[in-house]
Each structure stands twice: as structure tokens, then as C-alpha cells.
Amino acid sequence: MTGPGEKKTVDRREMLAGGVRAVCGAGFFALGLGMLGRQAETRAAQSLRPPGALAEADFLAACSRCGLCVRDCPWDTLRLAGIGDGAALGTPLFTARAVPCEMCQDIPCVVACPTGALDHRLTDIKQAKMGIAVLVGQETCLNFLGLRCDVCYRVCPLIDEAITLERSHNERTGKHARFIPTVHSDKCTGCGKCEKACVLEEAAIKVLPAELALGRLGGHYRLGWEEKRKHGESLLKDIIDLPDRGYGDGTATPYGGAERGANGAFKEFKP
Amino acid sequence: MRAAGWKWLIARRLSQAFFVALFLAGPLAGLWVVEGTLASSLTLGVLPLTDPLILLQSLLARHWPEATALLGAAIVVAGYLLVGGRAYCSWVCPLNPVTDAAHWLREKLGLREGVTISPRLRLWVLAGALAASALFGTLAWELVNPVTITHRALVFGGGLMWTVAVGIFVFDLAIARRGWCGHLCPVGAAYGLIGKGSLLRVSAVRREACDDCMDCYAVCPEPRVLTPALRGKAKGFGPVILSGDCTNCGRCIDVCPQDVFGFASRFDKREQTIGQQQGEYVP
């Protein structure tokens, strides 16, 4: 026998079941999308964001994938990520080795961005941080080999600021200098002109996303000399300055006068 | 089906072609009337437009956008509050011709089998996409959105991304009748929510003349929305189709041999009785 009250209970139960089903379904769907989102946060190292781009996770929360930055790039540097570009589908990127950023003074890509995924506070292109150039090919770079290529240094829009040539001794010839292209991360904008211009088949200097390019000290690290400068004097007073002990006569070594060979190594070691 | 009109269908195809041409004139012919895509665009260098669902995802992902995007989304919402929320679906969206073609072929081939999906599922897809945007701090639906992916493929070149549109076609053809636009798409669901309050609506203004031929039910992409307006007089429903799911496609206006339907304001409660129109009452 089904009274009106009984029927109502069944309806309510069905409704509840339907609601739970829908919420669970939507929940699973949301989780799936979320995982896809996490996956999309990993960006290939050679896929660089336009100037002013927010940090990757924030960028993916902001960029509407409209392509207005791409349209306003006068050098056709930017493109929208397709499948296999190693960046979230439809987001803008450029590949330095293909077309680097020409660092327009008026930064039209940033101005065009309607959402602020490219931060409108960036008004001086020299403050851009699209990545950091790193001379990764230290075994192939012609300057490292002792030649004077210097191309990366010459094309750098911030020559002698972002890239300098640092002299060092050429151990191979024993009498020449090597001019080592040296990137200064505080000045480098990551425009990629150096990577584009590198004369090697595979560029020795590459622009990498900053988090890959730069090391980072532990937050608790204190550099003694910095602390000393800030404090005006050494933080540790009354340090006994022990005399430096040489190894010259053999008697003063920690190993009690073990004999050394011509190359300076111990001939035998008896603890 | 009896003698069918084509006026609104042709107008709608022209409108869809117009919007595609508008976005393609720049990249193909150098006529930069509109830059960008349906996600965000800039018309004639002054009019910014932004998809409100994309903006909503962004807000939920805790990004406060530039005023340009906020203004653009406000203009779009205001526009569709005038012309009908899901007018986007039937008059603008680049996927509509794809799913319409799939539906046409499905009918031609007489494919009756298919998965039954609740049309309310799109609301849950929308809820899931928005929840994912909020929980994971990203534009979650834009990772997979077939509408924006297809439009981007159209305007910027698609390559492999065209497979998404092909997939939607196959889904609608072989798996579910009017599956995508009518049941799953959360973009349509979002515009449907805007449409709940929109001004321009289809009205069964001469519903007394209806002779139950069912032609409108056959062509309507959301046949549920017809019933209250067409047959609900006894239950106190007005002649205006108020459901947000109605896409304002106007196909019912085209096919009705009795000229029951017409566009009207949602506030227009007037009805034409048979006597007024034809001077005599035909039972």
C-alpha cells in the first residue's frame, strides 16, 4: 500500500540519489580537469613566455588564450601553443632560436593583453624577465675554445651589461687569453638574440626559464662577508687567527711527514 | 514536414559566416576589423570583448583581470541580455554549423540509436569546470574547450587541433543526438543562464492556430522549451518561450505552417487570436 507520505519519501530519496550522482560526476570531472591543469603547468624549457608574463601558475589563471599579443607583435615572434609545443594549449610563447624577442620600446604585446596575464606594470622592456641566457655549451662555445667569436656578446641589446666578456688564461696554448661570454642575470631580459645568433649548429648559449637557469641559496644561508659589511665589523669577536701551516718541509703536515712524489701526492699513506 | 520557410536559417548561416569572415579578414586579407578570437577580441581598435565564462574562470582562479577584460565581458553579457543568451550558440559559435551538419546527416541516414544524456548535464559540466578553476587556480575549461579550440584553429591555424571539431561531429553523428550543443557544452549552459533574463525571445504568439503538426518539435534543438509556451495556456503559461535553453535560432518560426511563432520581447504578453488575424474562427 502506498500512501501519499510514502511516495514522497521515495521521491526525496531519488532526488537525493540523483543529486549525489550529479555532484560526484561533476567532482570527478573537476578532478580530471585539475590534473590536466597541473600537467599543463610544465612548460618546455625552450618555450618562452612574452615579456611581462606572470609566473607560470598565475599566468595560466589569467591568460584567456585570445592571441591579441601575438597579433600585435610586429616581428611575428610570438605564436599560440599548439599540440606538442610543451605549453598549455593556446597560450602565447616564442622560441628564441627561431625568432627572438626584439624588445620593442613600447612593448605592444603587453599593451594588447586584455587580462593582465602580461603584467601592464612592465613599461621598461629592459626590466623584462622572459628567461635567463645561460652558456650551457662550455665544451663547444668558440670563445671557450679560445677563439674570438663574440657573436652573442655583439648582438646583445644590453651589450656590456647583460653579457660581458671576461678574460681568463688559455691553459691550452699557455700564452693566450680566452674571452668568456658571461651573462649577468640581473640585467639579462631573456630576449634570446644571443641564442638566435650563436653560430654553432646547436646554440651554445640558450635562454632558459629563470627557475631552471639560476641556482638558489638556501633561505638560511648567511654570507659572512655580507653580514660583516652590514654589521660594520665581524659578528664573531676575538677569533684567534691561527698561523697558516704550510706543507713545505713535511714536518708540519697532519700526516706526520709522509713522503711526497714529484706531483705533490703522498707516496704512501699509513694512518 | 510541410512547406518550410528558410528565412531565419539562412539569416543564421549568414551570421555565422559573417563572424568567421570578420575574424579571418585580418589574418587572410589584412583587413584588421577584429583582432583576437572569441575568447577576447578588439574591434576597430576600440571595442574590447571578452567571453564571460573565461572571465569567470579567471576570477575563480583568483586572478583579478585588467579593466579591459572586465569591460569586455560586461559588454558581451549586456549584448546577450538583449538578443538572447544562447543566441551566441546559434548565431555566432563556430561549432554550431558542425553540430548542425552532424544532426542533418544523422537524420538523413536515419540514425535513431544513441546514448541518452540529460540536457541538465551541461550545468554539471559547467559546475565541474568552475569548481576545477577555483580548486586548481587555472582556467580549467580552457584546457579542453572545443569552442575556443576550434575558433583558435580557425583564426590562428589549427593543425592537429581540428581533430577536436571532428570529434564533436562524430559524437553528435554517431553517439548522441544533438549531444554536444544540446546536452554537454558548458559554454552554452553559461549563455543559457544569461538567457534566463534576456529581452528578445521567441513567442508562440498565435498559439491558438497550432494544429499539432509537430514540425517545430522536429526542428527545435531544445524541444522541451516549446511546450509551456505552445501548450501551456491552460496552466497559465504565457506565449513567450522563457527558458534560457532556447537558442533564438528561429527555426520554429521558419517551419510552422500556421505562422504560430515570431520574435518578441519577453515582456510582450500579447497573443493574437485567430479571429483577430483572419477575421473568422477556424476550429
Q: What is the pLDDT of residues B125-159, one digit of tens each?
A: 999 999 999 999 999 999 999 999 999 999 999 88
Residue with cell 550545468: B123
Q: Are B26 and A71 in contact (CB under 8 A)?
A: yes
Question: Cβ of A63 under 8 Å from any chain B Cβ?
Answer: yes
CA distances from A198 to A133, A150, A195, A203, A210 (A): 12, 9, 5, 5, 20
Residue with cell 644571443: A194
Q: Give φ, ψ of B168 to 5 degrees.
A: -65, -40
Mean pLDDT of B228-245: 93
pLDDT at B259 over 90: yes
Q: Which residue in chain B has the smallest CA separation from A89? A: B143
Q: What DSSP string runs through B98-120?
A: HHHHHHHHHHHTT--------TT
pLDDT of A3? 45
Nearest to B257 by CA among B24, B2, B39, B47: B2
pLDDT of A39? 87
Alpha helices in A113-160 (DSSP H): 151-155
| B 199-238 near A (Cβ less than 8 A) | none
Residue with cell 553523428: B173
Beta strands in A40-125 (DSSP E): 79-80, 92-93
Residue with cell 550558440: B89
User: Which residue from A37, A66, A82 is facing B132, i.e. has the nearest CB?
Assistant: A37
Element (H, E) at B50: strand B47-50
Q: How far apart are CA A44 and CA A209, in angstroms?
A: 9
Q: How far apart are CA A268 and CA A250, in angstroms?
A: 13
In one letter, which amino acid is B201?
R
User: Which residue from B37, B69, B141 is facing A67, i.e. has the nearest CB?
Assistant: B37
Return the DSSP state at B142.
G
Contact list, A63 vs chain B (CB under 8 Å): 139
Q: Are A184 and A163 in contact (CB under 8 A)?
A: yes
Tens of pLDDT along B3-12? 568 999 999 9
Could you tell me the strand order of the sheet in which B34-36 lies? B34-36, B40-43, B47-50
**Full-model pTM:** 0.86
Angle between helices B162-170 and B96-108 (to 10 degrees): 30
pLDDT of A170? 94
Return the DSSP state at B175.
I
Question: Cβ of A115 under 8 Å from any chain B Cβ?
Answer: yes
Question: Is B142–A65 a contact, with Cβ atoms under 8 angstroms apart?
Answer: yes
Contact list, A31 vs chain B (CB under 8 Å): 132
Residue with cell 580549467: B140
Nearest to B129 by CA among A73, A260, A29: A29
Interface test with B, best of A66, A79, A89, A91 (most B CBs within 10 A): A66
Contact list, B148 vs chain A (CB under 8 Å): 65, 90
Question: Cβ of B173 under 8 Å from any chain A Cβ?
Answer: no
Tens of pLDDT along B218-228? 999 999 999 99
Nearest to B114 by CA among B168, B177, B184: B177
pLDDT at B96 over 60: yes
Size of interface A-B (CB pairs under 8 A): 155
pLDDT of B279? 47
Question: Is B39–A64 a contact, with Cβ atoms under 8 angstroms apart?
Answer: yes
Residues near B140 by beta carbon (within 8 Å), at least 6 away in sequence: A30, A33, A34, A36, A37, B57, B61, B129, B130, B132, B133
pLDDT of A111? 97
Q: Which residue in chain B has the smallest CA separation from A121? A: B66
Average per-residue pLDDT for chain B: 92
Q: How far apart are CA B119 and CA B117, in angstroms?
A: 6
Question: Is A114–B125 a contact, with Cβ atoms under 8 angstroms apart?
Answer: no
Q: Which residue in chain A has the smallest CA separation from B158? A: A82
Average pLDDT, 10 consecutive residues per value, chain A (271 residues): 51 86 90 90 92 95 96 96 91 97 97 97 96 96 96 97 96 94 97 98 95 90 90 80 65 53 59 52
Which of helix, strand or coil describes residue A165?
strand
pLDDT at B277 over 70: no
Beta bridge partners of A178: A168
pLDDT of A224? 86
Which of helix, strand or coil describes residue A186?
coil
pLDDT at B2 over 80: no
Q: Which position has the higher pLDDT, B268 or A180?
A: A180
ipTM, 2 dp: 0.90
Q: Are B184 and B122 in contact (CB under 8 A)?
A: yes
Beta bridge partners of B200: B265
pLDDT of A237? 78
